Structures are given as C-alpha cells and as structure tokens.
Amino acid sequence: MIDRQALRRDFEAMQAALARRGEAVVGDGSAWARLRELDDRQRQLKNESEALQAERNRVSKLIGMKKGKGEDASEELHAMGEVSSRVKELDALTREAEALFAAALLEVPNPLHETVPDGASEDDNVEIRRWGAPRTDEVPAHWDIGTDLGILDFDAGAMLAGSRFTVMKGAAARLERALMQFMLDLHADKHGYEEVWVPAMANRKTMTGTGQLPKFAEDLYKIEGEELFLIPTAEVPVTNLYQDKILDVAELPKRHCAYTPCFRSEAGSAGRDVRGIIRQHQFDKVELVHITHPDRALSDLEELTAHAEAVLQALELPYRVVALCAADVGFSSQKTYDIEVWLPSQRCYREISSCSSFGQFQGRRAGIRFREEGGKPQPAATLNGSGLAIGRCLVAVLENGWQSDGSVVIPAVLRPYMGGMERIVAK
C-alpha cells in the first residue's frame, strides 16, 4: 500500500504518479478520492477530539479547585459530562473513519516509477531488446502439434474439469516436469536462489499482503466454507514467508525460487486464447522472489529479469523484453518488464514472464520490514517474476522445435531430464 505520510507530505507528486495509470485511478469516486476525503475527515475529528480533551482537562482542574474551596461545581460537572460524551462519540467516529480509510487504502494502486514509459494501452509498451532469430516458416499451432503427436488431450481435460483444462500425456507430461526441474536447478545452482516448497492455498491475510485482495477477488478460486484461496502465483506464499517479520539489513536480499501449480478463473479474459494451453485455469510456474533493500529495488529488477531470460537462452527460444507503459503496469507494481517468447504459428511474441518491482508497496501491506543498525524498522522492497510459466514454455518448445515430418526436437539442455530423448515422435 502507499505510504500514509507520503500521502500527506507529497500529495501532488503522488497523485501525478497515480494519474499516469489513467484518470479513473484518481478521478471523482475513485479509491484515491475517497482516501483523501477520509484522511481529511480523520484529521478534523482528531483536532476536535484534542480540543475537547483540553477542555475536559481545564474543567477538571476547575472542579478540583471549586471542591477544594467548598464551592458548588454542579455546572462544571454537567459540562464535563457533555464533553466526555462527545469525546466518546468522536472516538467512535474516528474508529469508523479509520476503518473506511484502511479499506480505501487497499484499493489504491502503487504509484508508478518515473522511468515507466507513458502510454494509454499495451500498444504503447516499449521494446527494450531482442534475443535470437525468430522462425518465419509455416508452423502448425501447438494444439495441432500436440494432438497429432498424441501428447495433448483437450477433450479429456474438458471431460474431467471443463473448458481451459488439458491432460498431458507421455512426452508432454515428461516435458512439463523436465522444464520445471531444469528451471529450478538453473535458478538454485547457478543464480543463487534458495528453493522453497510452499502451500498451493493461502488465507485472506496472505492474499491481501501481496495485493490480490480485495482488488482481484473475482479472478481467484475460493475454497467453499473456508477462508482459503487457491494461489494464482507462487508470489503470494513466497513473499509472505516474511509477513509481519523484521529482518536485519544484513539478511537482505532474500532470494527464493519455487515451483507451484497456479489457479486463475480468468474472469476478465473471456474469449481470449480459448484454444490450446496459453490461458488455462490451472497451470504450472516457477517463480522468482526478492526481498531487498529499497535502494536496490530497480537494480534487482534488472538482475531478476536477466535470470528469467537465461532460461529462454538456454532453451534457444527467441524472445524480446518490453517495458510496460503506464496504462499496462499491474496494480501492485511500480515498474514491470514483460518477456515475450516467439510463437511461429502466430508470427508474434507472446508473454511468458512478467518481472516486477513493487518498491515498498507489498512490504507495507504484508508487514515485511527490515532494520538498519540503530534505525527504526521500515518496509522492505519486494520483486517477483516468472522464471518461467511452464505451460507457455512448453508451447514455445513444441512450435519452435517442430519439424516438417511432424516430430519435435527437444532442446539439448532438457535431454538429460527427458531420459536422453532427443525428439518427440508420434507413436
């Protein structure tokens, strides 16, 4: 969440940073507008309460003086009762305003970093770099490749669970597992991440800490009768490993990688990518998470993005990196790079990783803090990125490795994880 003191101290600058996301973020009726009104309301109540308390103290002393002299203090006692009653009323109003303020605060997005490019839609995202030579010949879509090879069964997925579920068989199932193991080994052994295994469910507090609640409740799967949600990404449990903790500055940065299944209802994506496994309700992902010093947030973003890129380079899959423009940056992020892999069947780049710096936004929400020697605790900075989305990586391997005889060449780096298999062929 945003810093309350910064809200008061740098209101104009913060509003300008938020306004870059779009007028709806700071316009009339927005959470930001309610926040400002509620903050003003709280200050008014506080000022009135403090004035009444000062009056109560004055009258209390006067009563003491009159009683000490044997004088009648009934008028002052009556006034004291009225003041005390009003103080109690103001305390209740203040608590109500504070609760409303806290609720509005959770719905205000992270102000954008000044280096985020301006833009009104994803069309204004800025390409930073490319790697590899895109394949430009005619290549079937991954759903046709997988069906012809007998390794992707969309009908079975629909029968078992419904639309946007897929059953992987044989080489595809092993390829999914191989990609997961390869990514974890690369990040843990070469990039220095500590691997963690975390629950695939999270409670409301944990979901709120990273910004999924309350804003994106409709995209989550909630467990009926429980205050538990299926996680949409390992970012949620891994970041919250440090929920309500104070770390010593010497412990930073904390860097973790984790494999988890992920679950998203995709409520806001009706009609998009309905074929294949680009956009599924259940998918696998390896996630990278940093808990770091605020001064390192942006330099860590470059490092984290490079670690995600290293996966695609090892798999020899062409990709590009784009900086998301102001209108396309996610709710909790202050700056985001998307990595987009080349899909020859679509003749375009498609997102396979989103790498974000959140600054201290999640640190405040989740109570993740650190302390420098002799200093007060302050919110830590957090970052995360897919390293990578495994299903989309499998799609890219199938399409970029497809051969005219219908087989698929497996990237050399994955062959040890595939039992030495060099290509996938139809049975």
316 annotated ligand-binding residue: no
Known binder of ligand: residue 76?
A: no
84 annotated to a ligand binding site: no
Residue 333 assigned to a binding site: no
The answer to the question of whether 96 is labelled as a binding residue is no
> Which residue among 264, 364, 365, 369 is the active-site one?
264
The string of DSSP letters for 366-401 reads HT-EEE-TTS--EEPEEEEEEEEEHHHHHHHHHHHT
Q: Is 354 annotated as a binding residue?
A: yes
Consult the annotation and say whether 352 binds a ligand: yes
The answer to whether 264 is annotated as binding is: yes
Cα 126 to Cα 358: distance, rounded to the nearest angstrom? 19
On whether 386 is known to bind a ligand per the annotation, the reply is yes
Q: Is there a contact between 393 and 177 (Cβ–Cβ < 8 Å)?
A: no
Our answer to whether residue 21 is catalytic in this structure is no
Closest to 42 measured CA to CA, from 79, 80, 7? 7
The secondary structure of residue 190, as a DSSP letter, is I
Write down the catalytic residue from 37, 98, 195, 351. 351
Catalytic residue among 21, 34, 255, 392: 392
Annotated binding residue at 233?
A: yes
Which residue in 332, 354, 356, 357 is the catalytic one? 354
Report the distance separating Cα 185 and Cα 58, nearest Å: 71
Residue 47 among known ligand-binding residues: no
- Catalytic (active site) residue 320: no
Strand-pairing partners, residue 405, are: none
85 is catalytic: no
Phi, psi of 109 (to 5 degrees): -70, 170
Clarify whether 36 is annotated catalytic: no
Which H or E run contains 63?
helix 31-68
Instruction: Report strand pairing: 246-248 vs 369-371.
Output: parallel
Q: Is 96 a catalytic residue?
A: no
Point out the catalytic residue in the list 36, 41, 86, 279: 279
Residue 266 assigned ligand-binding role: yes
144's tokens: 């046709």
To the question of whether residue 353 is assigned a binding role by annotation, the answer is: yes
Residues 6+ apart with CB under 8 A from 378: 294, 360, 369, 370, 371, 372
Extract the annotated binding site for L-serine.
Answer: 233-235, 264, 287, 384, 386
Which residues sit in the known binding site? 233-235, 264-266, 287, 351-354, 384, 386
Active site residues: 264, 279, 351, 354, 392
Binding residue numbers for ATP = 264-266, 351-354
